[in-house]
Structure 1
Amino acid sequence: MADMLLKGQDKNGNGLKNQTIRVGTRKSQLARIQTDNVVQMLQNHHPHLHFEIIGMTTTGDKILDTALSKIGEKSLFTKELENALERNEVDLVVHSLKDLPTSLPPGFTIGAICKRESPHDAVVFHPKHVGKTLTSLPEKSVIGTSSLRRAAQLKRTFPQLEFKDIRGNLNTRLKKLDEKDDFSAIVLAAAGLRRMGWENRIGQILSPTECLYAVGQGALAVEVRARDQEILEMVSVLHDGETVLRCIAERAFMKHLEGGCSVPVAVSTTLKDFQRLALASPHLSLPLLGSPQLYLTGAVYSLDGSESLRETMQMNVKFPLENEDGPNDDIQHVGITAKNIPHGAQKAAEKLGLEVAELLLSKGAKQILNVARQLNDA
């Protein structure tokens, strides 16, 4: 809300009014586009503030000759940004949520999760294969992907194809696809292609029956210092209720399995009977009273896709009236602080993620993931 008063401000807008808010981001073109979008949304809500964007290079940006799953660092695309946040060199950081580990460093929190773009994976074909699908590609065609999750599922669904690691930002990977004959197609997040304005390159969207997506894929997160209540309050206007609940469930599932990029873990979520109601402020969508159902499908795979476990469960996330279940100012759910989303609904979403993970563990998921981790490390 443009005239929203932040903590520490009076009715004249003093407090953060004259401050410059420093925003950390990776330097890639996609990261800058995503950060520009978030900053523009914040500027719209807080026209009295000035925002400065500070680009940084992360470990994941530097190491391009090794598969992501083999680098052995959980915070490949976030560590340097979080270091700057800790040193007070920036006030907030914009991430792709799927890059953020389910356990954040002490003192940090996800202060906002923006409305999710499509979480699905997309196939981009070599120019000579435009118009085809993965099914219609010639046998032994090579598909590029940097994700164990994608490779494991697609090997299972398309055993006639071969899969090879490909690294680099979107621009680099598309150049490798177009200018050489090493790959017949590559698999990327649909959200990134759309944000770059390259939706016309999408040749096929993979459905959840073909390829479940990554935890948090398609959502943007704003990470802040948990003690900075003014900044936390400022960014919280960006929270999207449905996206928050889906991502809490997904992150809780991943955390309980102790998953990460070194093992194939995948999800799909939907929130049904979810009616939106703009309450006091038009920017914040919260659901009406009722009984919306949150569905989570979670799965684990062996590296070659030959073994898998997949289960779907649902949870009633009936929303009480705002704050009906008590204040939740300092409560985090898998690293997310969402004061303006009722605590009971967040708790139900987290419980759903835990229960799906527990069900898979009871059926042998730990053994599948341990073997996958050992083979990947080897």
Structure 2
Amino acid sequence: MQSNPLRIGTRGSALALAQAHETRERLMAAHGLAEEAFEIVVIKTSGDKIQDRPLSEVGGKGLFTKEIEEALLDGRIDLAVHSSKDMPTVLPDGLALTAFLPREDVRDAFLSPKAKTLSDLPQGAVVGSSSLRRQAMIKRLRPDIEVVMYRGNLQTRLRKLAEGEVDATLLAAAGLRRLGLEKEITSLLEVDEFIPAVGQGAICIESRADDEATLQKLAAIHDPDTQVRLDAERAFLAVLDGSCRTPIGGLAVLDGGRLHFRGIVLKPDGSEAHEADASGAAEDAVAIGRSVGEALKAKMGPGFLAGH
């Protein structure tokens, strides 16, 4: 019998808590443990505190992980549950992504009371999004649309949409599903037209790399296919030094032992975009992701992201 509960660190948003609860339930089922064998520890991050400006202006992705990673390193928690798309490509020494849960729907969802799809929105409509990737892709497809900064947790964004602050917004389908909010989705944007963010729809678990007891527990809920896909996507992002200041999309798809990866990089106003793809054996996932990153770097040239 485990005397000390396994401490699961998470952000405090409804979606983050749903992901932490899913992790706990999978661990309970895999090991035949009661809920009391776990403690969910809510940690407020810088990214949660800053709601008035784009994250790209104040430090990027690490704002959602820094305080949680400090708690891991200090031993205040045993594992941390994250949305993979929030994770920087470089982790602090001593920490590692040690498990991935089976990946959910990777697509972006279109939500609007005024139109069925993005292309159906009236001329000059206002769309709210805090994601540079979504902003750039919207502008690429519909240069006439006004895209406005739209921060806040999922519930806040849904409320702003209902109040008419914007005509439409885009959110990750996976997050809406995990919260039982599928009914809010007006339509889904298919990946051939709208490449998702690296890691979208995937929950990852971070822990101390040398914590064998925790690693053994996590091994039982780890999904190797999701890891292979994320290995390619994160390797791609690392080559491009993907920060929140660059609109980047990337998606790896597994078909048996074959992996296909497609990546895109855009100018923030959507006026220019470059795409590349590659396929190969699943065990070469990291090399495949890197090769697409290098191909896009070559296509972009040095001035592509100047001034952004």
Q: Which residue of 2 aligns with 1:33?
A: 18
Q: Which residue of 1 aligns with 2:153?
A: 169
Please tell me whether the aligned partners of residues 235 and 286 of structure 2 are also in contact (alpha carbons under 8 angstroms).
Answer: yes
* d(CA) in 2 for partners of 1:247, 1:267: 10
SS of the residue corresponding to residue 146 of structure 1 reads coil
AA aligned opposite 1:311: A
* d(CA) in 2 for partners of 1:366, 1:19: 53
Residue number among 53, 56, 59 corresponding to 1:66 in the alignment = 53
Give the deviation of 1:160 after TM superposition: 2.5
Please tell me whether the aligned partners of residues 27 and 33 of structure 2 are also in contact (alpha carbons under 8 angstroms).
Answer: no
Residue number among 190, 214, 239 corresponding to 1:207 in the alignment = 190
The percentage of counterpart residues that share the same residue type is 42
Q: Which residue of 2 aligns with 1:8?
A: none
Residue number among 297, 303, 314 corresponding to 2:262 in the alignment = 297
Q: Which residue of 2 aligns with 1:76?
A: 63
* d(CA) in 2 for partners of 1:204, 1:170: 17
Note if 1:108 corresponds to 2:74: no
Q: Which residue of 1 aligns with 2:281?
A: 316
After superposition, residues 304-343 of structure 1 pair within 5 angstroms as 304-317=269-282
For structure 2, which runs of at least 5 residues remain unmatched after alignment?
none
* d(CA) in 2 for partners of 1:27, 1:60: 11
For structure 1, which runs of at least 5 residues remain unmatched after alignment?
1-13, 275-291, 318-344
Q: Which residue of 2 aligns with 1:265?
A: 248
AA aligned opposite 2:291: E
Residue number among 296, 299, 303 corresponding to 1:363 in the alignment = 299
Please tell me whether the aligned partners of residues 151 and 163 of structure 1 are also in contact (alpha carbons under 8 angstroms).
Answer: yes
AA aligned opposite 2:128: G
Paired residues, what number?
306
Q: Which residue of 2 aligns with 1:92?
A: 79
* Bigger share in helix: 2
Please tell me whether the aligned partners of residues 154 and 210 of structure 1 are also in contact (alpha carbons under 8 angstroms).
Answer: no
Instruction: Give the CA RMSD over aligned residues.
Output: 1.4
Q: Which residue of 2 aligns with 1:236?
A: 219
SS of the residue corresponding to residue 304 of structure 2 reads helix
Q: Which residue of 2 aligns with 1:351?
A: 287
SS of the residue corresponding to residue 80 of structure 1 reads helix
* d(CA) in 1 for partners of 2:153, 2:61: 18
SS of the residue corresponding to residue 205 of structure 1 reads strand
Q: Which residue of 1 aligns with 2:38?
A: 51
* d(CA) in 2 for partners of 1:48, 1:114: 18
Provide closer, same or farther for how the CA distance between residues 252 and 194 of structure 1 changes in structure 2, counting only shifts above 3 A.
same
Give the deviation of 1:72 after TM superposition: 2.1
Please tell me whether the aligned partners of residues 55 and 61 of structure 2 are also in contact (alpha carbons under 8 angstroms).
Answer: no
SS of the residue corresponding to residue 260 of structure 2 reads strand
* d(CA) in 2 for partners of 1:298, 1:42: 33
SS of the residue corresponding to residue 294 of structure 1 reads strand
Please tell me whether the aligned partners of residues 157 and 210 of structure 1 are also in contact (alpha carbons under 8 angstroms).
Answer: no
Note if 1:134 corresponds to 2:118: yes
Note if 1:18 corresponds to 2:3: yes
Give the deviation of 1:28 after TM superposition: 0.8
Give the deviation of 1:46 after TM superposition: 1.7
Provide closer, same or farther for how the CA distance between residues 366 and 116 of structure 1 changes in structure 2, counting only shifts above 3 A.
farther
Please tell me whether the aligned partners of residues 293 and 315 of structure 1 are also in contact (alpha carbons under 8 angstroms).
Answer: yes
Note if 1:160 corresponds to 2:151: no
SS of the residue corresponding to residue 76 of structure 1 reads helix
Please tell me whether the aligned partners of residues 112 and 237 of structure 1 are also in contact (alpha carbons under 8 angstroms).
Answer: no
Q: Which residue of 1 aligns with 2:172?
A: 189
* d(CA) in 1 for partners of 2:242, 2:212: 31
AA aligned opposite 2:83: S
AA aligned opposite 1:315: G
* d(CA) in 1 for partners of 2:219, 2:143: 45
Provide closer, same or farther for how the CA distance between residues 366 and 22 of structure 1 changes in structure 2, counting only shifts above 3 A.
farther
* d(CA) in 2 for partners of 1:269, 1:353: 8
Q: Which residue of 2 aligns with 1:3?
A: none
Give the deviation of 1:247 after TM superposition: 0.6
Cα shift readout 1:320-348 (whole Å, capped 9, x = no counterpart): xxxxxxxxxxxxxxxxxxxxxxxxx2xx1
* d(CA) in 2 for partners of 1:39, 1:249: 27
* d(CA) in 2 for partners of 1:73, 1:297: 23
Give the deviation of 1:362 after TM superposition: 1.9
TM-score scaled by length of structure 1: 0.78
Give the deviation of 1:367 after TM superposition: 3.1
Please tell me whether the aligned partners of residues 84 and 90 of structure 1 are also in contact (alpha carbons under 8 angstroms).
Answer: yes
* d(CA) in 2 for partners of 1:308, 1:368: 10
* d(CA) in 2 for partners of 1:365, 1:205: 33
* d(CA) in 2 for partners of 1:365, 1:264: 16
